[in-house]
Amino acid sequence: MSVPSPLTFVKSLIPDAGAPRMYVTSSFVSTVGGGIMMPISVLYFTRIVGLSSARVGLAFTVSSLVAILMSAPAGALADRVGPRRVVMGSLTVLGASGLAYLLVHNFWTLLAVNAAMNISFAAYFPSVGALLRRVGGEQTVTIRSQSRAVANIGVALGSLVSGVGIQIGSAAAYHVLIVLFAGAQSAAVLLLLRVPDYRPLPRPAKNPLPADGAGPVPVTGAGEAPVPKGLALRDGAFLAYALVGGVMAVQALILEIMIPVWIVDRTDAPSWAVTLAFVINTALVVLLQVRLGGSVQTLADGGVALRRAGIAVMLGCAALSVMAGVPAWAALLVLVAGMVLLTLGEIWYASGTFAFEYGLPPAYAQGQYQGVSGTVTGAARAGAPVLLLGVVLGFGSLGWLGLGAIMVLLGLTGPALARFGARTRPADTADGTGLPASATAPAANSPVGDPA
């Protein structure tokens, strides 16, 4: 594998001019705001507002569970009215709810404000996925990889800014950070005005899915009937993928909530090793997401990527399991190896999910499908802290090995899921790309008006 020059690498992260570049730029600006908010979201309420950690945790948990229910309806709304409108509305509410943090003074106001923020997040992700499908066309998976790499840069930059405010520690510093978060979301909305306001796509007059799952059924006509609300729920291949992909999404939380506790409480590694783990992860995602993800285009590619992800995460968990009981220098070496493997698994997992989530849904129902997937993933992530901190870490090294075994078993189903999905797609998407001609045809993608 040849090593690209720095200029070539930077260019690989930048999509073509026009709507794709504006989409990725908007995502970047929004994630800078996210990087500012994530480190202070709990600290602000405990240090500045004066709420207890238990009350803050309860408010965050309840609001997250409420928000899970909004993902599928928001995705369906994006299919009906056009995805850009729902994305812009979600970002607007997100910024406003961030500003409303300044008004929180007790548990109940925190619960209300954080519920609004989580609901806006739940509406944003399926609608922005539907918008990407329209912006990207046949390059959807590539642009999604570019967006993810750039988003990691955005989060890192935002976290640096947040760190300055945390170091200052005053109420005024936290207030400035909150205003910067809201400003970033407003800027992201303005950038989306340069993206076409795509019309909803024409829908087929007949059910596009096979009745018996035995093979693809041709779509013989198109009309303007509403997309069936339960279309994604009747797609057996997509539901099977959503369950596997949703549970595998827990691997992303290994770094966020499990590794810091493992390093500090169970190993002799220095505490700064937690920062080292995050640096390795961010750097590798930025460097490799586009390069590795760019080769994952079809459903078959996605199935292989999920299998590789499961194997890599298993090996990473096995490496981290031996950190306990070894000297600090050995624990650091094992941590580096484990983080490389876990991050490779994360990249392959993300690339595989891109292929499935844009290869299985019909273009006119992309939001609905993303909403169903988001609901399953959200539920899995909601239960992850109990599993990772209470069960896996409770068993120590054996817990790591058990978690790795679960991930590899799920990943190994990837190729079979891909074959199931390809076998049950309509005839006009049976090539394995999942992108019908209607997804990229000029008439179908014509915007309501010229982009601002």
Residue 380: strand, helix, or coil: helix
Distance between CA atoms of residues 111 and 55, nearest Å? 10
Segment of 58-62, 88-92, 216-220 carrying the highest mean pLDDT: 88-92
Q: Residue 206: its pLDDT value, please? A: 57
Segment of 119-133, 234-248, 290-304 carrying the highest mean pLDDT: 234-248
Residue 222: strand, helix, or coil: strand
Percent of the chain at pLDDT exceeding 90: 39
Q: Is the pLDDT of residue 227 over 80?
A: no
Q: Residue 213: its pLDDT value, please? A: 43
Per-residue pLDDT, averaged over 207-227, amounts to 45
Per-residue pLDDT, averaged over 71-82, amounts to 86
Greater confidence (322 vs 211) lies with: 322
Greater confidence (415 vs 58) lies with: 415
Name the nearest CA neighbour of 423 among 299, 295, 304: 299
What is the CB neighbour count within 10 angstroms for residue 136? 23
Q: Residue 109: its pLDDT value, please? A: 94
What average pLDDT does the chain have? 83
Question: Residue 41 — pLDDT band, cuts 50, 70, 90?
Answer: confident
Per-residue pLDDT, averaged over 295-312, amounts to 94
Per-residue pLDDT, averaged over 275-280, amounts to 86
Q: Residue 439: its pLDDT value, please? A: 37
Give per-residue pLDDT as tens, 367-393. 889 889 988 988 888 888 788 888 888
**Lowest mean pLDDT: which of 11-20, 101-110, 413-422, 433-442?**
433-442
Segment of 102-106, 152-156, 220-224, 252-256 carrying the highest mean pLDDT: 102-106
Among left, alpha and beta (phi > 0; psi -120 to 50; other), residue 434 is left
Per-residue pLDDT, averaged over 226-245, amounts to 84
Q: Residue 99: its pLDDT value, please? A: 95
Give per-residue pLDDT as tens, 400-450. 999 999 999 999 999 999 999 999 887 554 434 444 433 333 333 333 333
Q: Residue 38: its pLDDT value, please? A: 82
Q: How far is CA 303 from CA 247, 350, 374, 446, in A?
A: 15, 12, 19, 33
**Lowest mean pLDDT: which of 29-43, 105-119, 135-149, 152-166?**
135-149
Distance between CA atoms of residues 114 and 101, nearest Å? 8
Q: Is the pLDDT of residue 39 over 90?
A: no
**Tokens found for residue 20:** 């794709």
**Tokens found for residue 359:** 């290869």
Q: Residue 255: its pLDDT value, please? A: 85
Strand partners, 191: none
The answer to whether the beta carbons of residues 376 and 71 sit under 8 Å apart is no
The answer to whether the beta carbons of residues 144 and 354 sit under 8 Å apart is yes
Distance between CA atoms of residues 158 and 305, nearest Å? 30
Q: Is the pLDDT of residue 352 over 90?
A: yes
Q: Residue 443: its pLDDT value, please? A: 32
Greater confidence (431 vs 316) lies with: 316
Which secondary-structure segment (H or E) carries 204? strand 203-204
Q: Residue 75: its pLDDT value, please? A: 86
Q: Residue 252: its pLDDT value, please? A: 85
Q: Residue 2: its pLDDT value, please? A: 56
Q: Is the pLDDT of residue 346 over 70?
A: yes
Percent of the chain at pLDDT exceeding 70: 85
Q: Residue 6: its pLDDT value, please? A: 67
Segment of 4-18, 158-172, 306-320 carrying the highest mean pLDDT: 306-320
Domains and CATH numbers, the chain: 6-192 (1.20.1250.20), 227-440 (1.20.1250.20)
Q: Is the pLDDT of residue 452 over 60?
A: no
Q: Is the pLDDT of residue 70 over 50?
A: yes
Question: Residue 142 — pLDDT band, cuts 50, 70, 90?
Answer: confident
Give per-residue pLDDT as tens, 331-341. 999 999 999 99
Q: Residue 200: its pLDDT value, please? A: 81
Q: Residue 451: its pLDDT value, please? A: 32
**Tokens found for residue 394:** 């409770």
Strand partners, 350: none
